[in-house]
Amino acid sequence: MTELLRLSILDQSPVAEGSTGAQALRNTIDLARLADELGYHRYWVAEHHGGPMLAGPSPEALIGPIAAATERIRVGSGGVMLPHYSPFKVAETFSLLAGLYPGRIDLGLGRAAGTDPMTTFALQRDRRAAMPDDFPQQLSELLGYLDGTLPADHPFARLSTTLPGRPERPEPWLLGSSDQSAIWAADLGLPYAFADFINAKGAPAARIYRERFGEAEHTGRPSTAVAVWAICADSEQEARRLASSGRMTFTLLRQGRLIEVPPPERAERFIESLPKDGQSSGGGRRALLGTADTVVAQLREVAAEYGAEEAIIVNILYDHQARRHSYELLAEAFGL
């Protein structure tokens, strides 16, 4: 069954304790090269702001260097948090990237802020008031530029003809973790990527997406990807040891304490110090941990649960070499 399932990567550019954001970004380029060599289908980079743990606030700035450093793999955003931006500016930027790297650029779009309320406000150009919650309108305008489908009487209609990368265009995706995002993706005829690593109860949303897509008069077919937290190692014990770094960072994040990714030794001591009712500390998140064969079997089950044609693997580890090894093991087990 795995031969029917595409395998991809979402990289959040984790910053290891004692390291730097600059090194984390270099690690992202290194991991992208490896993913290209191993045969992964696409490589997405995330958008997060104002914290010490992740060094990726600007996927549009990372995509070009990644595409230049690789040869085959699709490269894109996982995703651009559209409420922070002008739809026209996003259209221009990703049109440019598509023109430079034809047939390889994805534009994954999300609604979340990717940060806390104060940092969200700092990102605004106009700070006289909070920005309106008009994501559906933003999304429709952005697609109108890319597709050239803005109504003739739209004040910005002519701008769609000025996109720098034409005739190339990025492939737009909608990212989400709720039923509402599934509805928007289906209504607009977009491919849909569900963040299972945020909400492990998303299978009903994936069904809503496919059913509603089928009811609409779209020319294409629904396309579903599921983003899953997964770590492979040479033993289950080692995988769980590596995973402790992420467990600690997310436990403290829910307490409003932002840290760099700690080494497993410190993270294990922290987890052991938690009250027994805090030992799970996963916040309901699903994590696939173990040897490659174990993780592949679990990944098959999750993909089947979502009816997904693609699994996008995400994780946060302290040791970059351990991240590389995790993706190498998974690629070998899948036969990429």
Task: Judge contact between 295 and 326, C-beta under 8 A.
Answer: no
Q: Which residue has the tokens 């955003």?
A: 77
**Residue 283 clears pLDDT 80, i.e. is over it:** no
Reported confidence tier of residue 284, pLDDT bands at 50, 70, 90: low
Q: Are 183 and 212 in contact (CB under 8 A)?
A: yes
Q: Which of these, 304, 295, 300, 303, lies nearest to 325 by C-alpha position?
A: 295
Nearest CA among 320, 313, 280 for reference residue 296 = 313
Confidence of residue 330 (pLDDT cuts 50, 70, 90): very high
Which of 54, 43, 49 has the alpha carbon at shortest distance from 85?
49
Q: What CATH number was assigned to the domain covering residues 2-231+287-334?
A: 3.20.20.30
DSSP string, 267-314: HHHHHHHS-GGGSS-STT---EEESHHHHHHHHHHHHHHHT-SEEEEE
CB hemisphere CA count around 10 (13 angstroms): 27
Q: What is the pLDDT of residue 219?
A: 86
Q: Which pLDDT does position 281 carry in this prediction? A: 47
User: What tokens does 186 get?
Assistant: 């289906």
3-state secondary structure of 190: coil
Q: Is residue 207 scored above 60 in pLDDT?
A: yes
Task: With a cut of 90, say whether residue 48 has pLDDT above it.
Answer: yes
In the chain, what are the domain boundaries?
Answer: 2-231+287-334
Average pLDDT over residues 37-50: 97
Mean pLDDT in residue range 116-130: 89
CB atoms within 10 A of CB 335: 9
The mean predicted confidence, pLDDT, of the chain is: 94
- Quick one: average pLDDT of 318-322? 98
* pLDDT for the residue 130: 85
Mind listing the pLDDT tens digit for each residue in 6-23? 999 999 999 999 999 999
The per-residue pLDDT for range 218-249, each reduced to its tens digit, is 888 999 999 999 999 999 999 999 999 999 99
Mean pLDDT of 56-68: 97
* Residue 216 CB coordination number (10 Å): 11
- Stretch 240-260: mean pLDDT: 94
- pLDDT-derived band at 54 (thresholds 50, 70, 90) equals very high
| H or E segment and range at residue 75 | strand 74-81
Angle subtended at Cα 335 by Cα 330 and Cα 336, rounded to the nearest 5 degrees: 80
The percent of residues in the chain predicted with pLDDT above 90, rounded, is 87
Read off the pLDDT of each residue in 134-139 and give the average, rounded to a whole number.
Answer: 95
Q: pLDDT tens for residues 178-197? A: 999 999 999 999 999 999 99
* Distances in whole angstroms, Cα of residue 256 to Cα of each of 21, 115, 206, 252: 21, 12, 31, 6
